[in-house]
Structure 1
């Protein structure tokens, strides 16, 4: 089978390309603009792919080149990761997020229709739910995003649903699945791929960077939440488990279906627990300063992954922080400057 992956040089996209190759894909067309993705990830995947990978550097909003690529390759399915993903940046530059997310997805759907590609897995986000009061969060939880990042992802979901509805009416077999995942952590277990953002905003790599002296002391925002240790609790999923979820969703996709699944482990870890695990793994204290709460930070965000476990038989192999932090530390030790190392 032949697949096209957008955002293939990014954190989750690159790990999913590798999972596709591991499960026997005959060809993967990796698409990335390299604005936020990394040539180093593509180079690592190319070596591992043994001739089964093609890389195309383009922005999805480049409609003509994208359409030409799909018309030439005619992939059996598309996995769509390409997006900007920083919540704070989306608040400061909302038009950029709407243009990249919604504009890129619109262009991709048109190119898929023209090429006759009828299966899509969309990388969505739990940010489409906003800050619900009821935990855990199921797929039926109302989607009320509180920032442009979540809002633009929700708009993409609506566009994809409309495309599936149109396909049902005109006899095309187009179907799609959307995965809404929570906090992602870890790196490839063998160190081939890792997490490399600039700026880095995710908690685990930020803590490890602080341990290496690559950044100042971390700020701990709020210690008076109604949680066991007073700090926020979040649901984490290992990036390799998330990659598996995308491929499982792809293989289960049926014509005319439009499904949505939450991806998480179903329980959370507090900020202090993450810091403690990072300190255990690196064997040294991590510098932390306590700061006031940030506006809009819910005390707890937890997924209900029962549906994906039941319907797709997906189950995370990593249910504790240890393998997430250990694999991230293995990557960072060999790549202290990310893929530039």
Structure 2
């Protein structure tokens, strides 16, 4: 059994690939290395450098490697930047998904797990987001992910595509010392880079309508997220009925200020964060119920907040020393 992982050289994708391998499932990776790293893909995994916008490459990969399903992680994922680069975001996330689905249909590959996002919900006044919470994305990124879900839905009707989408939240931590978040926009690497450089980390906005004024999010460990992707893939192979989409959430969430406090605790670096302006497209609070995913995929949070910070910091410091 072989599964294609798009974006499999990225922070999340590489964890998914390793989780597949550990479950005894062969993986093949397509990644254009725009944000991924070739060294994140272990030696035994077949790797093709290229973009999912290249339909011929995708089709050839599906056919040559006898792929029976796809875990689609590739995409441009920066909500704030997507406000400034909407056309690029739609090209990568919407057109890329369309090209991928067309190649899958031509190759006769009928299963896909889509890495969607909590950004499809946008701002909401609900204390707990469920899968049927109204969708009101506040950024082109969130819109592109919602359109991706629609594409899967429509291919399910038109071509019998078996699919599910995983709507996840802030992904942090590391499951391996050689794989870590290198995003220039995500909270953990931004804070760690500041600490390593002797700068003061900052919070983007402290005037949100939340208890301490900073954004509240679900933070989940990347290894837990990877296991959910593998569980969804296995369920599709077994033909088990799945919901169109699942939230991977804690049901509780944590604020950015709480994250900063955990970082000071774990790293031993005492600091008071600076306050900067809000980032465009950032909702105030998104916390989700993971009940459906727990029921169908065995989803659960296996790491505490301090454990998430500790694993991320360990991988970051190991990278700095190598």
Scaled by the length of structure 2, what TM-score is found? 0.93
Equivalent residue for 1:141, pick from 133, 137, 160:
133
Shift of 1:117: 1.2
Structure 1 partner of 2:150: 158
Q: Which runs of 4+ in 1 moved over 6 A?
A: none
**Aligned 8 A contact 2:169 2:249 in 1:** yes
Shift of 1:296: 5.5
Structure 1 partner of 2:182: 196
**SS of alignment partner, residue 335 of structure 1:** helix
**Aligned 8 A contact 2:83 2:281 in 1:** no
Question: In the TM superposition, what are the counterparts of 1:93-242 in structure 2 within 5 Å?
Answer: 93-168=85-160, 174-188=161-175, 190-197=176-183, 200-213=184-197, 216-242=199-225
* Separation in structure 1 between the aligned mates of residue 108 and residue 215 of structure 2, nearest angstrom: 46
Equivalent residue for 2:226, pick from 234, 243, 251:
243
Gapped regions of structure 2 (runs ≥ 5) = none
Deviates more, 1:128-137 or 1:278-287: 278-287
Q: Cα deviations across residues 114-147 of structure 1 (Å, max 9, x unaligned)? A: 1111110000001011111112110001111111
**SS of alignment partner, residue 217 of structure 2:** strand
1:312 aligns with 2:297: yes
RMSD value, Cα:
1.9
Q: Cα deviations across residues 84-129 of structure 1 (Å, max 9, x unaligned)? A: 1111221111111111111111111111111111110000001011
1:10 aligns with 2:33: no
* Separation in structure 2 between the aligned mates of residue 294 and residue 69 of structure 1, nearest angstrom: 38
**Aligned 8 A contact 2:169 2:248 in 1:** yes
Scaled by the length of structure 1, what TM-score is found? 0.88
Residue 158 to residue 317, structure 1, CA distance change in 2 (3 Å) = same
* Separation in structure 2 between the aligned mates of residue 64 and residue 222 of structure 1, nearest angstrom: 44
* Separation in structure 2 between the aligned mates of residue 285 and residue 36 of structure 1, nearest angstrom: 31
* Separation in structure 2 between the aligned mates of residue 239 and residue 227 of structure 1, nearest angstrom: 25
Shift of 1:271: 1.6
Question: In the TM superposition, what are the counterparts of 1:263-282 in structure 2 within 5 Å?
Answer: 263-282=248-267
* Separation in structure 1 between the aligned mates of residue 279 and residue 17 of structure 2, nearest angstrom: 36
Shift of 1:273: 1.2
Question: In the TM superposition, what are the counterparts of 1:51-70 in structure 2 within 5 Å?
Answer: 51=44, 53-70=45-62
Q: Cα deviations across residues 272-327 of structure 1 (Å, max 9, x unaligned)? A: 21111111111112352123555664442201111111222221211x21111001
Shift of 1:167: 2.1
**Aligned 8 A contact 2:138 2:282 in 1:** no
